[in-house]
Amino acid sequence: MNEKLTIALTKGRILKETLPLLASVGIVPVDDISSSRKLVFETNRNDLQLVILRGTDVPTYVRYGAADMGVVGKDILMEHGSEGLYEPLDLGIARCRLMTAGPVGWQHIGARIRVATKFVNITREYFSRQGVHADLIKLYGAMELAPMMNLADLIVDIVDTGNTLRANGMEPLEEIAAISSRLVVNKAAMRSRCTAISQIIEELTAVVKEGEDAPA
Give the 3-state DSSP-derived string for the chain, with helices as H, strands as E and coil as C. CCCCEEEEEECCHHHHHHHHHHHHCCCCECCCHHHCCCCEEEECCCCEEEEEECHHHHHHHHHCCCCCEEEEEHHHHHHHCCCCEEEEEECCCCCEEEEEEEECCCCCCCCEEEEEECCHHHHHHHHHHHCCEEEEEECCCCCCHHHHCCCCCEEEEEECCCHHHHHCCEEEEEEEEEECEEEEEEHHHHHHCHHHHHHHHHHHHHHHHHHHHCCC
Domain 97-177, CATH number (from 1.20.120.420, 3.40.190.10, 3.30.360.10, 3.30.70.1890): 3.40.190.10
Kindly report the CATH number that applies to the domain delimited by 5-94+180-213: 3.40.190.10
pTM for the full predicted model = 0.91
The ranges of the chain annotated as CATH 3.40.190.10 are 5-94+180-213, 97-177
pLDDT digits (tens, 9 = 90+) for 113-145: 999 999 999 999 999 999 999 999 999 999 999
> Does residue 197 surpass a pLDDT of 50?
yes
